[in-house]
Structure 1
Amino acid sequence: MYYTNIDNLLTYIPMSSVEVGKHLYWQIGNYKLHGQVFLVSWLVIAVLVITAFYGTRKLDRAPESLQNFMEFILEFLQDIAKNQIGEHEYRQWVPYISTIFLFILGSNWAGALIPWKLIQLPEGELAAPTNDINTTVALSLLTSLAYFYAGLTKNGLGYFSRYIEPTPVLLPINILEDFTKPLSLSFRLFGNVLADELVVSVFTLLVPILIPLPVMILGLFASSIQALIFSTLSAAYIGEALEGHGESD
């Protein structure tokens, strides 16, 4: 009797459905693309491009408002690259580290701030692109390509000598490490973003008015931390590849 009353009550409450694994598919040839991921990603990219354009359109020697904010962000991202890669080699990697950080931050905040559930799709729902494992794996593989490129560019084929250092016995472990780096990056970001959205959805389902707000604010903070962790680790991996394995003095 008790459970029946609860079920009847829930039928009158506008519930926030939690859909995991459902997507809006776009068929291109033999491939299926997750349409909702591309839609929100394009929106995030457009916002970043427009903000960058207006923030740097007219540069003044005494920056104000948006230009001042843009310079603060640039200095912050430069510090991340400098601390992890090194003062002499970090500059060429600032664009990559900055792009990774800003895209992940924008994606996470888009999922946390915009009420996507108000937009109905034929299948699935709009959400943060980073709550899709394909997005986080793609970003992680980009980081893998970046640190391989960094190591090979600086040290040539001698870069691969790192796999037998400090002893050839560690060869399997050192090779396995290159597989675990992108896996840990992708699953950490995916798991945290998905968990945050599920928690907010559950709180919205149970108490739709005030209680979810502190959780959403906490989610914004956690989303920012995840973007910082991903970009910092990416810079650290690049810095590790540039340390000079196989380089002769």
Structure 2
Amino acid sequence: MNIFMFSNLSFIEIKFSLLYEVGQHFYWSILGFQMHGQVLINTWIVIFIIVVLGIYTTRNLSMVPEGKQSFIEFVTEFIRDISKTQIGEKEYLKWVPYLGTIFLFIFVSNWSGALIPWKIIELPNGELGAPTNDMCNTTAGLAILTSLSYFYAGLRKRGVSYFTKYVQPTPLLLPINILEDFTKPLSLSFRLFGNILADELVVAVLVSLVPLVIPIPLIFLGLFTSGIQALIFATLSGSYIGEAMEGHH
């Protein structure tokens, strides 16, 4: 009996360890806090890329867009359409910056993991990769930020009456409605983390086995799925925000 309980406990600990952290990592100790060095490096690289592209594509704007200005205006209109579809015409403009930031950060992060050979950069421990393949530091953080955003949107638009959604259509659904708010960030973070991590693992394994031919189409497939994951995250975030402001009908 004791052996059985010990084996179950060990299995649970192993599952939790895999869930919390996949692969080897290195940390910085700053003011007594352990900080995930890889995620910080990768995140600032992604932010730098976005800032540089933003500055480059918005310099010397003209009334007749062409070239790089046409590209950035297409991206902006694409994000505005997502916001308008999910939130509605009255409120969507206020949320375009947030949804645009979320979409661009995830998109560039995912593509950086698929295109940049991070493994050639040697670290004291661990290896670099897309920021979005780390659940606890990146994808969970983005999901919690979305949760805070739709709580803020609901309270700002509907006031205290926002909390009446938990007892609709019947007070018997109160526990389920509360649980729903916990499952939303979990589903967002697990979906993004799982897809990006799986893509990087599959490509890494195939590159080591067949380094020339087979990985190429998988890399293109990874780029496509990475873009889809950014779109799904931004779309669901907008949907949750729109639902919080409109309430249940």
Q: Which residue pairs with 2:159 in the alignment?
A: 156
Give the superposition deviation at 1:57: 2.0
Aligned structure 1 segments of 4 or more residues deviating by more than 6 angstroms = none
* Mean CA deviation greater in 126-135 or 48-57: 48-57
Q: Is the 8 A contact 1:108 1:193 kept in 2?
A: yes
TM-score, normalising length: structure 2:
0.89
Q: Is the 8 A contact 1:154 1:244 kept in 2?
A: no
2:194 to 191, 195, 200: 191
Give the superposition deviation at 1:120: 0.8
Measured against aligned partners, the alpha-carbon deviations of 1:95-117 in whole angstroms (never above 9, x if no partner) come to 00000000000000000000111
* Mean CA deviation greater in 27-36 or 232-241: 27-36
Q: Which residue pairs with 1:227 in the alignment?
A: 230
Partners of 1:145 and 1:55 lie apart in 2 by 31
Q: Is the 8 A contact 2:165 2:247 kept in 1?
A: no
Partners of 1:163 and 1:143 lie apart in 2 by 19
Measured against aligned partners, the alpha-carbon deviations of 1:217-238 in whole angstroms (never above 9, x if no partner) come to 1000010000000000000000
Q: Is the 8 A contact 1:150 1:241 kept in 2?
A: yes
Report SS of the residue matched to 1:59: coil
Overall identity of the aligned pairs, in %: 65
Give the superposition deviation at 1:211: 1.1
Report SS of the residue matched to 1:22: coil
Q: Is the 8 A contact 1:159 1:245 kept in 2?
A: no
Gaps of 5+ in 2: 1-20
Q: Is the 8 A contact 1:158 1:245 kept in 2?
A: no
1:31 aligns with 2:33: yes
Gaps of 5+ in 1: 1-18
Q: Which residue pairs with 1:124 in the alignment?
A: 126
Partners of 1:33 and 1:111 lie apart in 2 by 21
Q: Counting helix residues as a fraction of each chain, which structure ranks higher? A: 2
Q: Which residue pairs with 2:111 in the alignment?
A: 109
1:87 aligns with 2:76: no
Partners of 1:81 and 1:48 lie apart in 2 by 20
1:182 to 170, 185, 204: 185
* Structure of higher RCO (CA pairs closer than 8 Å, 6+ residues apart): 1
Aligned length: 228
Q: Is the 8 A contact 1:161 1:245 kept in 2?
A: no
Report SS of the residue matched to 1:61: coil
TM-score, normalising length: structure 1:
0.89
Q: Is the 8 A contact 1:24 1:122 kept in 2?
A: yes
Opposite residue 52 of structure 1, the aligned amino acid is: G
Partners of 1:21 and 1:48 lie apart in 2 by 27
Please provide the CA RMSD for this pair: 1.3
2:78 to 65, 76, 95: 76
Give the superposition deviation at 1:205: 1.3
